Amino acid sequence: MLKIHEPVIIVNFKTYLESTGKKAIHLAKQAEKASQETGVQIIIAPQFVDLAKIAETVEIPVFAQHLDPINPGNSTGHILADALKEAGVVGTLINHSEKQLRLIDIQTTVELAKEKKLVSCVCANNPTVSAAVATLKPDITSIEPPELIGTGIPVSKAKPEIITNTITLVHQINKKMPILCGAGISQAEDVTSALNLGTHGVLVASGIVKAKDPYNILCTFANATTK
Amino acid sequence: MLKIHEPVIIVNFKTYLESTGKKAIHLAKQAEKASQETGVQIIIAPQFVDLAKIAETVEIPVFAQHLDPINPGNSTGHILADALKEAGVVGTLINHSEKQLRLIDIQTTVELAKEKKLVSCVCANNPTVSAAVATLKPDITSIEPPELIGTGIPVSKAKPEIITNTITLVHQINKKMPILCGAGISQAEDVTSALNLGTHGVLVASGIVKAKDPYNILCTFANATTK
Amino acid sequence: MLKIHEPVIIVNFKTYLESTGKKAIHLAKQAEKASQETGVQIIIAPQFVDLAKIAETVEIPVFAQHLDPINPGNSTGHILADALKEAGVVGTLINHSEKQLRLIDIQTTVELAKEKKLVSCVCANNPTVSAAVATLKPDITSIEPPELIGTGIPVSKAKPEIITNTITLVHQINKKMPILCGAGISQAEDVTSALNLGTHGVLVASGIVKAKDPYNILCTFANATTK
Amino acid sequence: MLKIHEPVIIVNFKTYLESTGKKAIHLAKQAEKASQETGVQIIIAPQFVDLAKIAETVEIPVFAQHLDPINPGNSTGHILADALKEAGVVGTLINHSEKQLRLIDIQTTVELAKEKKLVSCVCANNPTVSAAVATLKPDITSIEPPELIGTGIPVSKAKPEIITNTITLVHQINKKMPILCGAGISQAEDVTSALNLGTHGVLVASGIVKAKDPYNILCTFANATTK
């Protein structure tokens, strides 16, 4: 099972055209190069359709963006843990604010991931939900206030108390839980302030995917984590 | 855009272990061989994660099992038409009984598919729903009574009136709509009786995926369509 | 079963505070008075919790805002047709754009309504979806472009082609289907233009619920239908 | 706000015909009589449509079976806290296994309930989910393994470890959280064993609703809580 090296950067490719198909592979390679250059762990989460090719192209860890709470069988149109696994995927986002799940399904997918040795990174919209997530014992909890996603207004500056409250509440449940934050992170100083608040990394998307030079931005982000 | 050659056989890989990863590629090749051998159009619908590799491995048409009603952007964990397209996918199942959609989302995905030149095959549980589907002008309508799915009891024998009623209702809306049927089809004679009832092909899954020799069964199915 | 007298006005109470509890009963009485005064059929659709008291207070027809596709049994938190029926409810909205259903569930609820002799009024967002709805044979189809709901910009003026296309498509399926339209209707002339376009009535909400004098506005709407 | 007197019995009316309309009122009166007779707090959770009349008929506390995460406005077909409140409802079940919610919606409804001074009783399917629920600070947590619901096989006997694990995990989060259990409870001794395991009451449904003499059964249940 993948070992998380903090501080970590997860790049969520979402469903942008800039991170689809050939462009997704290109972006994955830039992330890989930035990771190798800086020595910082950069994980990428491409679209399902692009996962297999990307996982065989790059050496950095590849996550899925979602996992369905199913076992092998007749579940047309669903995402099976075994399929991710065989494609070389080593972890998955769960309950991203754009793909929110019922509580029971979060629990089931976290356990499925554990069983299949996939790293689970469960997202939460606010500190209280983060605490609930922590009880489910995922490998990583990520806090992202949805109102800031895609805005370029960094959570680490605009709402630092969301991050510090999350850390307090999550660590009351589970002292060792790595906590990431995301939403609006588009500059190296946003990464620095996120880490200064006590997080163990960041979850980024449009700030990288839609950047003119993702490699360059990722290097500045990665370097910011080591200061 | 793919031209459908009736009678057609669509093999839904679902999320069986027998149709995941390397086994999915192997199964795809058997379907390709059966298609080439018999001259019958065989379309395969593997899991999302396996689509890209299969589409570059085989020459028969590859469908997705589902499409989300989204445009490029921030839709973490969703299936984007452009991603399917770039992976070499030429069509998609929509509203399979194991992945049923809101009416508005069926309409939106059919239109998205049309826009992206993906063949849309919309599934329906009963004749009335098939008629509703027909008004949305997909390329194919498929009728599958969910109570027979995976049973080995073929719809074409157990409930022929479901098929004939579907054909009547759908053709009142759209005379030229190709209509497939599925559920419980596991023997060549089930295919024959489906076509004799007036369908333009079959949608099969476990009968092929879990067969000891899928190539052989597919050949008998394909030959049954040309009798 | 309730007989619909065209042109009809349906007032959807939604979940506004102005149409909750005692205020809902007061609003229901104003609708009743406007109906009695003008001789025009006014149907009201209050919240579930208010249905029983309103149905025993007023003599105009009372609809539910939604019905669940369930039979009696263990369905905690769902809306049972028998419960509506026993409360004196005579019909129901289905698939309102704020409570959209899977296609299969629209079909099931329309049939449940028929079985229980509840009038079904199925809503659709656009002409194509209206045609799909018409195949399911509800008692009424209502077209409401969601982008105009609550705006005060009347569909009958802003997008008349949505209404005329709906009428054309729906009547190709079912010549006798009564068709209502809604969204943004807040003045008597919006009602007139809706009827002039060929509809059989209107579905209104905030234009009445949030009006200073709902009785007065409803009278002008009702009088507009008889010109 | 309603004060919970432990041990408490909550009767979920679900959507049985035996607990719909007039029969619901009759059942409510029997529950009231049993509560008055035994001095044990019995709370009833009828269907939405029956809530208002029942709340004005009986003096025992009346809960809803579900609450939607909405504020007043345009939410056709949803359950508004203000509507419950004005109908005399004093609390609500949330996330019953037959009406499961997304994690974010559980949190939102618990906070809405708090704001409106409605007692929140959040249900969970297993001990881990119970712990997650406890972090959201509802007034009551209830554990119900869905596989036993409606079976007559009491959770307190068949799976006592589910109850004791729930109590342990929940009390690690919140020492004072009242914990109920449900599923299969149909005899007085099931109630006794549930309390002996450390719960603060029971959540019952078919065992009462479908009993020949619900008053009598409820009295034996109530008496069992005071032994």
Percent share of chain D, pLDDT over 90: 87
Task: Measure CB to CB from residue B49 to each of A84, A96, A206 and give the nearest one.
Answer: A84
Residues of chain A in contact with residue D94, where contact means CB-CB under 8 angstroms, are: none
Task: Measure CB to CB from residue D52 to each of C53, C65, C82 and give the nearest one.
Answer: C53
Output the CA–CA distances (angstroms, integers) from residue C199 to C170, C176, C194, C203, in the order listed: 11, 12, 6, 11
Residues of chain B in contact with residue C101, where contact means CB-CB under 8 angstroms, are: 102-103
> Which residue in chain D is spatially nearest to C12 when comparing CA positions?
D76
Q: Residue C54: phi, psi to the nearest 5?
A: -65, -40
Is A25 near chain B, with CB under 8 Å?
no
- Length of chain D in residues, anyone? 227
**CA separation for the pair C47, C52 (Å, rounded):** 10
Is A205 near chain B, with CB under 8 Å?
yes
pLDDT of the residue at C183: 80
List, as one string, the DSSP characters of B16-77: -GGGSTHHHHHHHHHHHHHHHHH--EEEEE--HHHHHHHHHH-SS-BEES---S--SBS-TT
- For residues D182, D184, D187, D189, the Cα torsion angle rounded to the nearest 10 degrees is -60
- Kindly list the catalytic residues of C: 96, 144
Among the options A32, A66, A144, A200, which is catalytic? A144
Summarised one tens digit per residue, pLDDT across range D119-173 is 999 999 999 999 999 999 999 999 998 887 778 788 878 888 999 999 999 999 9
Those residues with Cβ within 8 angstroms of residue B24's Cβ, 6 or more apart along the chain or in another chain: B13, B46, B47, B50, B54
Is C41 near chain B, with CB under 8 Å?
no
Point out the residues of chain A with pLDDT beneath 50. Answer: none
Q: Which residues pair with D43 in a beta bridge?
A: D10
Residues of chain B in contact with residue C95, where contact means CB-CB under 8 angstroms, are: 103
Count CB-CB contacts under 10 A for residue A57: 16
List, as one string, the DSSP characters of D149-196: TTTS--HHHH-HHHHHHHHHHHHHH-TT--EEEESS--SHHHHHHHHH
> Which residue in chain C is spatially nearest to B134 when comparing CA positions?
C132
Residue D223 one-letter amino acid:
N
Q: How far is CA A39 from the centre of its chain?
A: 18
Check if the beta carbon of residue A152 is closer than 8 Å to that of residue D145. Answer: no
- Tokens linked to C31: 């609708």
pLDDT of the residue at A227: 67
**Which candidate in B100, B101, B103 is best for mutational testing of the C interface (most C CBs within 10 A)?**
B103
**CA separation for the pair B36, C196 (Å, rounded):** 59
Is B126 near chain C, with CB under 8 Å?
yes
Check if the beta carbon of residue A149 is closer than 8 Å to that of residue A182. Answer: yes
Q: Are C15 and D75 an interchain contact pair (Cβ–Cβ within 8 Å)? A: yes
Is C25 near chain D, with CB under 8 Å?
no
Examine the pLDDT at C184 and tell me if it is beyond 90: no
* pLDDT (mean) for D70-94: 98
Residues of chain B in contact with residue C133, where contact means CB-CB under 8 angstroms, are: 103, 132
Q: Are C133 and B132 an interchain contact pair (Cβ–Cβ within 8 Å)? A: yes
For strand D8-12 and strand C201-204, is the pairing parallel, antiparallel, or unpaired?
unpaired
Count CB-CB contacts under 10 A for residue D116: 17
Among the options D56, D96, D98, D161, which is catalytic? D96
Residues of chain D in contact with residue A169, where contact means CB-CB under 8 angstroms, are: 135
Stated as kind and residue range, the H or E segment containing C143 is strand C140-143
| Residue closest to B208 by CA, chosen among B9, B8, B10, B11 | B11
Summarised one tens digit per residue, pLDDT across range B95-154 is 999 999 999 999 999 999 999 999 999 999 999 999 999 999 999 999 998 888 778 788
- Kindly list the catalytic residues of B: 96, 144
Output the CA–CA distances (angstroms, integers) from residue C99 to B104, C94, D68, in the order listed: 11, 8, 12
Helices (H), C61-187: 81-86, 103-115, 127-135, 155-158, 160-173
The answer to whether the peptide bond before residue A138 is cis (omega within 30 degrees of 0) is no
Q: What is the pTM of this model?
A: 0.96
pLDDT of the residue at C227: 67
Nearest 5°: the CA angle C62, D100, A91 is 140
> Which residue in chain D is spatially nearest to C97 when comparing CA positions?
D76
* pLDDT (mean) for B186-211: 93
- Touch criterion met for C and A (3+ Cβ pairs within 8 Å): no
Q: What is the mean pLDDT of chain D?
A: 95
Count CB-CB contacts under 10 A for residue B216: 12
* pLDDT (mean) for C50-60: 98
Instruction: Kindly provide the b/e burial profile for residues A149-173, where b requires at least 16 CB atoms within 10 angstroms of the residue's own CB.
Output: bbeebbbbbebbebbebbbebbeeb
**CA separation for the pair B91, B71 (Å, rounded):** 17
- With left for phi above 0 and alpha for psi between -120 and 50, is residue A103 left, alpha or beta? alpha
**Which candidate in B76, B118, B123 is best for mutational testing of the A interface (most A CBs within 10 A)?**
B76
- Tokens linked to C107: 């079909």
Summarised one tens digit per residue, pLDDT across range A65-114 is 999 999 999 999 999 999 999 999 999 999 999 999 999 999 999 999 99
Task: Measure CB to CB from residue D16 to each of C73, C98, C206 and give the nearest one.
Answer: C73
Summarised one tens digit per residue, pLDDT across range C137-178 is 999 999 998 888 778 788 878 888 999 999 999 999 999 999
Q: State the count of interchain CB pairs (< 8 A) between A and D.
A: 63
Q: Which residues pair with C42 in a beta bridge?
A: C9
- Tokens linked to C60: 């105009």
Among the options D144, D147, D171, D200, which is catalytic? D144
Task: Measure CB to CB from residue D100 to each of A100, A102, A126 and give the nearest one.
Answer: A102
> Which residue in chain D is spatially nearest to C48 when comparing CA positions?
D49
Is A166 near chain D, with CB under 8 Å?
no
Assign A194 to helix, strand or coil. helix
